[in-house]
Structure 1
Amino acid sequence: MCSALDSRVEASITQAAETMFALQRPDGSWPNRRPTAVLGTAGAVAALHIADRERSRDLVDGGARWLLAARNADGGWGGVGGAPTQLVPTVIAAASLHLLDPAGHREPVRRALDLVRAHGGVEALADPGIAHLARTFLALAGLGDVKGSRRIPLELLLLPRRLWRGRLSFRVAPFVAMAFLQAHLAPPAGLGRLLYRSARRAGLRTLARVEAGENERGGYGGDNWLVAVVCLGLSGAGAPSAMTADTVDYLRSHVQADGSWHIMQGLDLIGGSFVARGLAQAGYARDERLARARQWLRGCQQDQPFPVFDAPPGGWGWEGPRGWPNFLDSANVLSALQTGGEAEGEEQLRRGLRWLQSRQDRTGSWGTFVPDTTLANDGPCPYVTAQAVDVALTGGASPDHPSVRRALDWLRARQRPDGTYEALWYRGLTPGTAMVLVAFGRAGLTADPVARRAREALLRAQLPDGSWGPGDTGILGDDPARGTVEETAWALRALLAGGMPADAPRIRSAADWILAAQQPDGLWPAGQVCMHVRNLAYYVDGLIVNGLALTALGGYRSALATTTTTTAAEKEEV
């Protein structure tokens, strides 16, 4: 007989699934509400103020009003509206407001900069590239100087792409833009001026190559913040007016009614892949509505190479059929497509699997954009590596396949002493630890010491109410105040894959917490678990949270059914 909790699981899944299907577009995709962004808004108003001042005056004024209204009580800003104060958004917002109106914004700028100084100033930023960006914005606003900053070697682009691709990776566009801004604020002299002229031409060509692979003209990664940085760089470099105008038009076309700009323009694909995977796990794999979603996902597979990343056709990005192909989103989509079994999609699925395998690092890991990169913010990443293993095993590879074996060996060597793993694109230690445990469980290695330590780490981190949180200071489970649906769902799925029985009290308390967190409309509240700028700005994703919750509850329901069947069989034998 089913328990009350079992009945609640069934009702929860049904309600969530029907709500998600009701929101589905006719083409099979789901709309994804993106959060408004402090960085994107501050960058956009600064860029439009410099590159399109007269025509965009109303947009600049509206963005400034939004920024002032989005301040936290301490005078700072978070990465998105309402988020806790963080150093970089505070610096960028203050610099932009000062650039627009030094006298009118004197008090909010003063409070913000006092707050920055109280936290160690720009010097407290560990990432040299982000620190340089913050100094440059302050200098652009007349609040600092870049002359003492380390010079950005734009002439690197004069070398063959294979020699700089791994060092710059996805930062190639901001690298060029920031070099342009640096040269504008502190013009090179002597021989450096001659070298810069050649490097400037190479930089413009590189930006043109990046833009050629985008979904929209003037859009760089679909990221309003990055578009603003490129726009400022192009303006400082005296770039051809058409290139600058494209970025201006992009920003003008994506301003929101409240005067803000979203953090990203296109996240429907990655969020939709999470939802499709979750609905399949929850029992809807053969539903015609979900078949439409998989068809849409297949239609977003890229059929053109992305030369800047040296990526062949066959992968996916987060925006659609064009844009920046990456390993994380491609693995997510493949995971969703593997649940369908449609004959017409088999070749695309095999092509995607081959693409993902071809992106593996020489060490056995996977990063995000460029294999074997030396850029820390790209890879290698335990979460992406574990997910790639999961996808490969589902695709028919054996645990002894050379690609899988090398990945598992790499994961063994990268486990932290406390049993945890990091994830590059999700905060804290819960997602990475959970995904690695899933990979080892799928490989039949639940007794492996790595799996055991990861399982123990997750159990130690479970909060008293049954949930999991991020571990904000880098120690899993060190924040007892709150859990999130995303992190709890990651952990619940992993513990089941790692061999824990569904009727274990810790498993049941996790499932019960997810059920209790479900909202009246059948969906779940999203937490700030997604990374925009590593360790500096996070955002919520309203699709990912529902996909993760459905995946966890669907797996829990299946495990309960197996446990019930096994128990009944054992009783009959007795």
Structure 2
Amino acid sequence: MSLQPGPVRDDGLDRPNHLNHLSHLNRLIGGLGSDGGAITPSVYDTARVAVLLPDRPRTERMLDWLAHRQQPDGGWGSPETPPARDLPTLAAILALTPHPAHRATAERAAEFLRYHAPRHWAGPVPQDIPVGLELLLPPLLAQARTAHPTLPTTLYDALRALGEHRRRLIASHAPHPPGTAAVHSWESWGGWGGTSQPLPVDGSGGIGHSPAATAAGLHHLGAEDRAQADTLRTYLTRAAANRPPLLPTVWPIDVFERTWALHALALAGLLDHPRLADSCTRQLDLLQAALTPAGLGMSEHFAPDGDITATASLTLALAGRPTDPAVVEGFRHGDHYRTYPGELQPSLTTTAHALHARAHTGQTSPTGPVHRFLRERQGADGRWSGDKWHTSWIYTTAHVLFALPAGTATRRGIEALLAAQRPDGGWGAQHHATAGETGYAVLALHTHRTADTAPALARAAHWLARWQESGGVCDCLLWTGKETYCPQRVDRVVAHAALLAATRATRPGAPD
């Protein structure tokens, strides 16, 4: 598309550096959904593929990458997200132990789990555990104890009990069609009816949009079924295309990527910007065409979920496009909204997205039960935290603030964000500011902006401008799947949209 349109509206974005930001953002928008989505590689899935398919090309490179990803304390995953560390660490132990060159690395990892487990698993299971952890961890722990017999077991009893409960629920609803939530963790159960049953291969060519589950299916597949084996191998090759031979924790995510990026652009008021409108329109057309009466999933080959359905419906409504409120209401469960049927841990952000969609179409009351569900889960510090899909309280707080009207809870949430801004102008729940978290904090302040938020937005604009000038990399592993990951295009679009929103909001004469 040409980036030389006629006169641009007077929004403070017509300076050369801002036009450069717009041009870069336009290219990002045009690429949304391509190659199944952009996502960081996964320790867990890469390790499982290395174990289950040891003859796969470049396995040695996979093992070397795993070894180099080990943290100084011996584990894998960020020390800031303890519940997300056990699964990748166990998977890495199993991958590295058989290889003499990596055995010492595996021993350090086993020692890490011996002191990590008592600190983080002695009590009840947290609400924000990684996807499928209760199903995936116990069998890996049992396998790893063969070579490392002193690994802890009883400390995971509560998680194991939750897993057994989950297995009974899943078994009671069998069989599970391809591309459904239960199949995403297929590698932990092999079908709940034995591997003699047909593999639940979906339209992506894989099992459950999971490289680990797909590798397990390929491992168990009979030698006579060459056509299906080729299909599964092709899926793994395509899933690794961003950083071969490393695998992501989920793929494809093209519809999710498109939805979340457009949502951020809608919040920033940029969907109709003259330099972005053509690209946004094409992506909105794709999103609208994909939304069915049953909802929308992470790709066209995966079952609809309440979070993507609500966020897509909201985004289309914010863009002035017609939506059917009933499609979101199908995920209602009492005073909150479910991501998937049978969900045991509800999501704050799924509920917030559904509430925002309903409120935008006038379908809910600010004194209703869903509003109360969110307000009652606000912490004493004004934050919302503990969401199952993102590890950062900044992300969770921002998304709740998008949904709630002005009031005491909103004011306390904004105050919490303002207090958490770092001296450099960015936001980050861990050791440093990140582009995605800073972007979402800016969009929340932009949504509820007052004279008090203007200085914070100006400082954030400077931080985001420096980030963009430094190359605009997004690799922060804050989103939650089977392990933490980063949907890189999403975070980059969020950061660029926030930079432009903050620039426009803080220009001289901008309205409060």
Gaps of 5+ in 2: 1-10
Q: Matches of 2:104 and 2:510 in 1, distance apart? A: 68
1:130 corresponding residue in structure 2: 133
Q: Give 1:261 deviation, angstroms.
A: 1.6
Q: Secondary structure at the match of 1:338?
A: helix
Q: Secondary structure at the match of 1:350?
A: coil
Q: What does 1:17-416 correspond to in 2, within 5 Å?
A: 17-23=22-28, 29-30=33-34, 32-49=37-54, 56-78=55-77, 86-98=85-97, 101=98, 103=100, 105-120=102-117, 124=121, 126=125, 130=133, 133-140=136-143, 142-143=146-147, 152=164, 159=172, 170-171=181-182, 174=185, 177-179=187-189, 200=193, 211=200, 214-220=202-208, 222-228=209-215, 245=229, 247=232, 250-251=235-236, 254-255=239-240, 258-279=244-265, 281-285=268-272, 287-302=277-292, 313-319=293-299, 321-341=300-320, 346=321, 349-351=322-324, 353-363=325-335, 365-370=336-341, 373-376=342-345, 379=346, 381-394=347-360, 396-397=361-362, 400=365, 405-416=368-379
Give the total of aligned pairs: 474
Check if 1:545 corresponds to 2:487.
no
- Cα 1:242–1:397, aligned 2, differ >3 Å: closer, same or farther? farther
1:3 corresponding residue in structure 2: none
Contact 1:486 1:529 in 2 (8 A): no
Q: Matches of 1:541 and 1:227 in 2, distance apart? A: 21
Q: Give 1:383 deviation, angstroms.
A: 1.8
Q: Secondary structure at the match of 2:256?
A: helix
TM score, norm. by length of structure 2: 0.77
Check if 1:531 corresponds to 2:480.
yes
Q: Give 1:44 deviation, angstroms.
A: 0.9
Q: CA RMSD in A?
A: 4.2
Q: Matches of 2:446 and 2:318 in 1, distance apart? A: 19
Gaps of 5+ in 1: 1-5, 50-55, 182-198, 303-312, 473-480, 568-574
Q: Give 1:42 deviation, angstroms.
A: 0.4
Contact 1:30 1:268 in 2 (8 A): yes
Q: Which moves more between the two structures, 452-461 or 329-338? A: 329-338
Amino acid at match of 2:94: A
Q: Matches of 1:375 and 1:204 in 2, distance apart? A: 29
- Cα 1:284–1:106, aligned 2, differ >3 Å: closer, same or farther? closer
- Cα 1:565–1:296, aligned 2, differ >3 Å: closer, same or farther? closer
Check if 1:432 corresponds to 2:396.
yes
Q: Secondary structure at the match of 1:331?
A: helix
Q: Give 1:7 deviation, angstroms.
A: 5.3
1:572 corresponding residue in structure 2: none
Amino acid at match of 2:207: G
Q: Secondary structure at the match of 1:58?
A: coil
- Cα 1:354–1:15, aligned 2, differ >3 Å: closer, same or farther? farther
1:453 corresponding residue in structure 2: 412
Amino acid at match of 2:309: S
Higher radius of gyration, 1 or 2: 1
Contact 1:317 1:325 in 2 (8 A): yes
Residues 146-174 of structure 1 deviation map (CA, whole Å, 9 limit, x = unaligned): 99876847565564569x99xxx934653
1:310 corresponding residue in structure 2: none
2:6 corresponding residue in structure 1: none
- Cα 1:492–1:10, aligned 2, differ >3 Å: closer, same or farther? farther
Residues 129-157 of structure 1 deviation map (CA, whole Å, 9 limit, x = unaligned): 73673342243353368998768475655
Using CA pairs under 8 Å that are at least 6 residues apart, name the structure with larger relative contact order, 1 or 2.
Answer: 2
TM score, norm. by length of structure 1: 0.70
Q: Give 1:461 deviation, angstroms.
A: 1.7
Amino acid at match of 1:516: R
1:468 corresponding residue in structure 2: 427
Q: Matches of 1:267 and 1:158 in 2, distance apart? A: 27
